[in-house]
Each structure stands twice: as C-alpha cells, then as structure tokens.
Structure 1
Amino acid sequence: MIITKNWLLAGLVLLAGNLFAQDDVKVTLKKDRAMMINEVNQIERTFKSTKTISREAMIQLTDLNRKIEGQERYVVSMSRQEPPMFNTEEMQDATREITRIKSTVATLRNYYYHPETIPKENTAASRPPAQTQTYTPPARTYPVLPPRQHATFPTSNAALTGDFGLYKGQIPYPLEKGTITQGFGHFKIEGSGPDIVGDNPGCTFAAPVNTPVKAVFEGDVISVSKLGSTFYIVIRHGRYFTAYSNLASSTVLKGSRVKPGQVIGTVGRDDETGYGKLDFILMFDDKNLDPQPWFVRQQYGQ
C-alpha cells in the first residue's frame, strides 16, 4: 500500500512538472509574439510617415518572417500531440496573433518589392468631405520574369531500397530539371546595405512553378503540413529523413508509403523573387547533412 502511494505521488509530481514546463513554453511563445508585434508596429509607423521601406527594415522583416513561421510550425505540431499542449482558446489566440504578424509582414515586404503599389495619400482637395476612406491592400502581383534555363539533373540506376546510408552518391535529385541556387551551410549575400548572413539547413533549388517534386528514396510520410499557402513534407527512410519545403501542392498523405521517383507535390513560388523554389533537407537522426554529396554524381559530358 505504501509503495502504491509512493508511485502515485511520484506520478503526480512528474505530471505537475510537465504542466509547469508547458506553461513556461506558452509564456515564452507569447512574449516572443509580443516582441514581434512591437517590431512590426514600429516598422509600420515608420512606413506610414516615410512611405518607403528601407533595406534595413526589409532585413528586419525577413528575420521576423522566419521567426513567426518557425513559431507557427511549432504551435501546429504541439497542438497535434496527445494530449495537445494548447487548449482551444490558447490556440485561437496564438493563431490570431500569428496571422496578424504574418499578414502585416507580407504587406510591408510587398511594398519593398513593389513600391508602385504603395497607396497615395488623399489630399484635402481630393478627399470628399465628411467621409472616411479605408484602404484595402491590393492582391499580390508578380512581375513578368525572364525565362530561366535550367539544367537536367542526372538520374540514378540504383535499386534505392533498404538502407539509405548505402547509397551516398547514388540518390536522384528531387527534380528532373532545375538550378541549385543556395548550397548547404553558411552563406552571405552582399549588397549596397548590410550583408545578409545565415545558415541553409539543406539545399535550395530554383525551378518553374508547379514542376513535379519527387521522393528521392522509398520511405514513410511522417508529416504533411500546410504553412500559409505552401506545403512541407517529411519522409522517413530508417534513421534518415528527407524534407521538401515550399511546395505549391501535396499529392501524399501522412502515413502513406512512397516509392523512389514518386511525385509527392509541385514546386511553389518564392515570395521574394517570384520564381519557383524548392528547399530540400536531408537529416540523419537529428543532424542536418549536406545533400549534394548524396546526389548521383554528374557523368562526364552531361
């Protein structure tokens, strides 16, 4: 009887600890969103007074966009666990704040890339008396982009079954044609303003929008998430994982089994450039790997 009580007490202590830890996470997430809202509001106030978005503000908006999308992915994943971390009211509050931040960031970034869409101020002479005019941001439009010539990636003749780790240098590309625009690891983009630096967790491809994206190895689909207007798919290959981000569509469901070369979705549009973009990530357990040494090697003359 005493042993049973001790186990019960230990279980209650463990449960209480988990609940306190979850509360700390919730408070931290809410504080982070409040800080992001303050930063966005400050940029928006500056924009309203100057009617311009500076390069420094654009760098700050890009960082905010990355942070809020990361929090959105975390909130969605934690809401799907059993039991869910967030109750209905907490989920609604988080979704409302995340949507507000993403919407404002997207509008301000659009003004940076398309200054011609910035609304003109109404003068006293042109504004009808005793009327309050409200502005509705225009629908996002993209410039007409010049065609890009993309290389045809080599294909693999390997069986692509069993142990993923045995096929280094033989894994096919997730696209039939495209261009690798950003490799794995640290990068720096130089410009007239401050340099933009960061770390790419995988490999970034440019390809026409709606180009088919294929699974590079047999495996199980463990996640299909929709982030805004794009999809994010994760496939397990034993201890290896491949992830496909910025997809315009998904043709697989969580829990399904895929074969090598099976179409799992299509390339989505990059909001910053207007071109099609695919982010491909390769992991072993929880460690990111450089995908390029794993792809089938380019043959001489190709």
Structure 2
Amino acid sequence: MTDDTPPPLPDHDWPDFPPGLVWLVGAGPGDPGLMTLQGLHALRLADVIVHDALVNPRILDWRQADATVEYAGKRGGKPSAKQRDISLRLIELARAGKRVLRLKGGDPFVFGRGGEEAQALVQAGVPIRLTPGISAGIGGLAYAGIPVTHRDVNQAVTFVTGHDQSGLTPSALDWQALAKGSPVIVIYMAMKHLAQITGELLVAGRDGAEPVAIVSNATLPQMRVLETTLARATEDAAAHGMEAPAIVCLGRVVALRQVIDWMGQLGGAPVRCLDPLGTGDPRQVS
C-alpha cells in the first residue's frame, strides 16, 4: 500500500466487482459526502470510470490511482455525447474485461437515463449492478430546508421533468391533472422552459401566489435558493440570475424553509428570499 492509498472501508459483505461488469452508481446531487458507501466501494475498485457532467470532480479523487476516467456529460444547449454512443462505449469497455463504473449525478433511475443504459447493457449480454443515489429533488431540497412531504401540509408529491427527449416541455404531461392532483410538484431540468411550465400550471388553476423555490447548484458551496411565487417565478429567476442545474419546487412546503433553513442558521452559502408568500415585500436574507 502506497502512502497515497486511502484506508480500506470497514469490514462488510461488500458486493464483488468482477471484470466485465458495469456498475451504475448514483453519486448524489453534488456534495461528495452524499455518496453512498457502496458507491465508494465501487469507485475504489473500478478500472474505468465513465461519469456525467453533474458528478462532483472531488468524488473522482477517491478512485484508485491507475483508474481511467472518461467524461460523458450531457448538458442542454452544449456539445454532448449521444446517449447511444455512451451505451456502446460501456458495452465496449465491459467486453474488454474492464471493471466499468458508470457514475451518474443524483440517482441513475430518476431522470438520469440509467434505465436506458441498463437496458442496452442487458440486451448486449453485459452483467450490471445498480447502486441508487440521493436524488436532487429530495436531497437538494433538503439542503435548502424544504421537506418534500410534511404531514400538516401534503400527503403526496409529484416529480416531473422539464423537458423530454426532444428538448421540449413534455407533451405527454397532463398539466391539468398535475395542478389539481398534486399539492407539491418538484420539477427537474425546468429552467429552459420555466415560463411555459409556470404558464401551464397557472392556466390549469394553480394560485399565482403559491410559493415556489428554485434551488441552483443544490448541496454545493455555490448553492443559491430563490423563494418566489408561481406568478413571479420566471421574472424573478431572470432578475436574480438563477441558472441550471436547478430544482424547482411548487407548493406550501416551500414556506417551511423560513423555519427549517438549517444551512442559513449554520452560516452556509448566501441565499435570496424574494416574497415567498406574495406579500409584496421582497427582502434578502442569508
């Protein structure tokens, strides 16, 4: 063991990572501490790590020294690897006898295309293993002090994506049903089409004064939180430079942040609070 080799994980019945297997692992929403121990175990055994754009580079520091790292990020509006090419590369590496770690931000099976990659691998006869991760729609909001469920507020929550394979707002979503049936709606990848999404929800009958939170770079030191309302969300997001990657949360649970803003209480990254209850009294807090 060299001086720069990290100490082994505690004894446990850790899963095997044989050559030729692709292990899909969720790296969580950004904070390296939210990586699971099983994911860390896989990272330290992998021969090749194929990672997404939203994986914190600091996590890669935990790999074994001779592991190869390949970037396969997909970011809207920027040159990105095609999904088919990523799947074919995973198959190629596995067939070459490599221990392949497919490291994905958040959870691979929550708007992460993990299911597509798993299908392609299985159809190609490549063995797989999956380790879930903390999804940004839960963990990212928790870092912002927003519980996605609270028994005094909501008994259901709906997770949706802000765009489909074409890059447009999903045409299959029934906004009328969502607006009427879900007290809390959490939207991934919504920034590009925020005006259309908020417009659909308003037309469907949601109150324009309903609280909305936009959490950018969730769980990272540069995390920013904008509290606004459904009617003002698009305008306020533009005015305050809120950018992707971001999670958007609509519902009364957003107002609970004024009590549960634990990062603000600990002197965490500054956030901006903008009239979350529609009082007409914008203010900035830390």
TM-score, normalising length: structure 1: 0.24
Q: Which has the higher contact order (CA 8 A, sep 6+)?
A: 2
TM-score, normalising length: structure 2: 0.25
Give the greater-gyration-radius structure (CA).
1
